[in-house]
Amino acid sequence: MFAGDRGNDVAALVSGVASVAVANADAETQRAVSREALANNTAGNTYQARGGLKLADNRVLNGNYAAGIVEELTHHQPVWRSHLLDAQWIDIKRLKAQITSISFVCLNSARVMRFANVGANTVSS
């Protein structure tokens, strides 16, 4: 997948690869993408993010930058929409807690490994 927002991205956006012109693309780029995708018969693979994608926690994505990529994923891979509407899937507090927990385990594992290596290196025969 390709994402772009400027005139130098137009050729890639209309190349036939799944792509998105994010909502913060300038107006001339948006017009060029529409025009050239129709001319190249690649409009089915080219998406223009508009914003307004609602998430399970009632936040609404604006379609700019990475939010445009997420919006494109729901367009080309509709199963993503069901994920975004699943409260457990986007429970940020739960995810942060899980990431913190995983980081703690990794950090402690690294400390144990360092301790074990130090112990092994200090034993002489």
Q: Which residues pair with 53 in a beta bridge?
A: 61
Of 62, 13, 8, 4, the residue nearest 34 (C-alpha): 13
The residue assigned the tokens 């948006």 is: 30
* Dihedral, CA of residue 30, residue 32, residue 37 and residue 40, to nearest 10: -170
CB 3 within 8 A of CB 68: yes
Q: Which residues have CB under 8 Å from 75's CB, separation 6+?
A: 20, 47
Reading the chain (125 residues) residue by residue, the pLDDT tens digits are 899 999 999 999 999 999 999 999 999 999 999 999 999 999 999 999 999 998 887 888 899 998 898 899 888 888 888 877 777 766 655 555 555 554 444 444 444 443 333 333 333 33
Full-model pTM: 0.68
Whole-number pLDDT of residue 5: 95
